[in-house]
Amino acid sequence: MSKHRLIGPSAWIVGVAGLVIGVGAAWLWNMGNPGNMGLCIACFNRDISGSFFGAGANMFGVAYIRPEILGLFGGAIGASLLTREFRPRGGSSVILRFVLGFIFMASSLIFLGCTVRAWLRLGGGDLNALWGILGIVVGVSFGAVMLKKGYNLGRARQLGAVAGWTGPVIAMVLLVLALVWVSTGSAPAGLTVTPERAKSVNGAIVQDEQGVVLRPEGATLVDGTVVAADGEVIADADAVQGAGRMPGGLRAPFIISILAGLALGVVAQRSRFCSVGGIRDVILVRRFDLLFAVIGLLVGATVANMVFGQYNLGFVGQPIAHTNALGNFSAMAVAGLAAIMLGGCPFRQVIMSGEGDADATMAVVGMLAGAGFAHWGSVSSTGAGLSQNAWPALGVMAVILVAILFIKRERVA
C-alpha cells in the first residue's frame, strides 16, 4: 500500500518563490514604496483605480499606476508564452467572479492589505497582522469545507485569442499611460497622480515634498500654518508638522519597480505561488506543499526587513495599519473566503490573467471597481481605524458570499 506524501518536491519550489517575493517586497519598501507594502496586490490595484476615479471618489491620495502590477503581468505573459502555457480560457460564472473580486478588494481595504500584505506586515513586525492572518485561516477553512460540499463556479473552457488577451491588453494600455506620465512629468488627461512624497493635512490639505500647498487652491504656508486665500487659518502648525505621507506618493523609482515586477511575475507564474492555496490544500487533500509559499514569504520579508533596518515589532506605530483587532479579523475572514471562492488569491488572479485566463481578468476588474467603491462609500479604513460604513459593508458582503456559496453548490454523491 502506497503512503500518501504530505510534502512533495513542489514545496521547495513554492517555498523559494515565497522567499524571493518576500525579499523583493521588503527591498521595494526600502526603495521608496509604502511601509510593509512593498508588493500589496490589493493596495497597488487600489492605487491604479485611484488614478481613474481620483478626487471624486476620495482617492487623490492613493492615485498612481503602480509599475509593479504591470511588471507582474509582463512576467506572467512572457513566462507563459515561452513555456506554451498561455491559453485563452474562461466563461465560468463571469459576473460572479467580478462580484467576488469586488468583495475581496473592499474587505481588504478595511484590513488595509490583501492576503499577501498580511504576511508582509507580520514580516515587518506589525502584530496587528496576526488578527488578519487568523481571519484568513478561518475564511479559507470555511471556503475549503464548502468546496468539499460541492461549491463550484464551473469549469473554464477554451476561448478565442481576443478573450485571452483582454487582461494583457489592459496592462499594456496602463503601461502606455504610465510611460506618458514618466516621460512628460504630468498625468495624461483624465488621470490623477498623487504628487511624489506628498503630505496630507487633516485629509483636505495637500503639500508637496517641499511643503508647498497644492490643495486647496490659493492656500499658502505662512509661519508653519496653512492659510486659505481669504486669510483664514485652515491648519495650524502642529497639524502641518504631524502630517503623514500620502500612500500614492510613496513609490520606488519607476524602472526599479517595473523590473522587480517582471522578475517576480516570472517567479510567481512558474511556481504557481498563492497566498491562500496552502490552507485550502491542507483541508481538501492533506497536502502541505503550498503552505511553504507563505512560510517563505514571511521568512524572506522578516530577514530582509531586519537587514534594511525596517523591522518594528509591536501593535502601534505601524505603517498604514490600524489596531482594531476585530475589524482586522473580520475583514480578512471575508477576504480569505472570497479568495477561495475565486480559486486563488489576488496575486494568483493577476498571474492567471497574464496567462490568458479571462475569468481571472474579470476578477481583477472587479477588484479595481471595488477599490473605487470602498473609498467613495467610506468603507476603506485609515490608520486611525475603521470607517463609519465598514461594519455594515462587511455584513452585507458576508451575506452575499454565503448566498453565492449555496447558489453555486452542486450535489455531492
Dump pLDDT digits (tens) for 102-131: 999 999 999 999 999 999 999 999 999 999
Query: What is the arithmetic mean of pLDDT over 86-110?
Result: 97
Residue span of the structural domain in which 55 resides: 10-193+250-407
Given a cut of 90, whether residue 205 has pLDDT beyond it is no
Residues 209 and 131 reside in one and the same domain: no
pLDDT in the model for residue 5: 58
Least confident range from 38-42, 45-49, 208-212: namely 208-212
Q: Is 3 contained in some domain?
A: no
Q: Does 58 share its domain with 94?
A: yes
**261 and 235 in one domain?**
no
In a domain, 271, yes or no: yes
Instruction: Looking at the structure, tell me whether residues 140 and 276 fall in a common domain.
Output: yes
**Residue 223: pLDDT band with limits 50, 70, 90:** confident
Residue 359 resides in a domain? yes
Average pLDDT in the chain: 94
Is pLDDT of 203 > 80?
A: no
Whether 186 and 203 share a structural domain? no
| Mean pLDDT value of segment 263-290 | 93
Residue 124 in any domain: the answer is: yes
Same domain, 322 and 348: yes
Q: Does one domain contain both 237 and 256?
A: no
Range in 126-130, 175-179, 204-208 with the lowest mean pLDDT? 204-208
Q: What is the pLDDT of residue 399?
A: 98
75 part of a folded domain: yes
Tens digit of each residue's pLDDT (9 = 90 or more) over 143-169: 999 999 999 999 999 999 999 999 999
Instruction: Report the pLDDT value the prediction gives residue 243, as an integer from 0 to 100.
Output: 87
Query: Are 260 and 231 members of one domain?
Result: no
Flag whether 208 is in a domain. yes
Confidence of residue 410 (pLDDT cuts 50, 70, 90): confident
Asked whether residue 412 is assigned to any structural domain, the reply reads: no
Regarding whether 267 and 144 lie in a shared domain, the answer is yes
- Please report the pLDDT score of residue 201 as a whole number: 87
What is the SS3 string spanning the chain? CCCCCCCCCHHHHHHHHHHHHHHHHHHHHHCCCCCCCCCCHHHHHHHHHHHHHHHHHCCHHHCCCCHHHHHHHHHHHHHHHHCCCCCCEECCCHHHHHHHHHHHHHHHHHHCCCCCHHHHHHHCCECCHHHHHHHHHHHHHHHHHHHHCCECCCCCEECCHHHHCHHHHHHHHHHHHHHHHHHHCCCCCCCCCCCCCCEEECCCEEECCCCCEEECCCCEEECCEEECCCCCEEECHHHHHCCEECHHHCCCCHHHHHHHHHHHHHHHHHHCCCCCHHHHHHHHHCCCCCHHHHHHHHHHHHHHHHHCCCCCCECCCCCCCCCCHHHHHHHHHHHHHHHHHHCCCHHHHHHHHHCCEHHHHHHHHHHHHHHHHHHHCCCCCECCECCCCHHHHHHHHHHHHHHHHHHCECCCC
Answer yes or no: is 373 within a domain: yes
Q: What is the pLDDT of residue 194?
A: 94
pTM, full prediction: 0.94
User: Between residues 81 and 216, which one has the greater pLDDT?
Assistant: 81
Same-domain check for residues 188 and 207:
no
Tally of domains in the chain:
2
**204 & 167 share domain:** no
Do 283 and 401 lie in one domain? The reply is yes
pLDDT at 290: 87
- State mean pLDDT over 251-279: 96
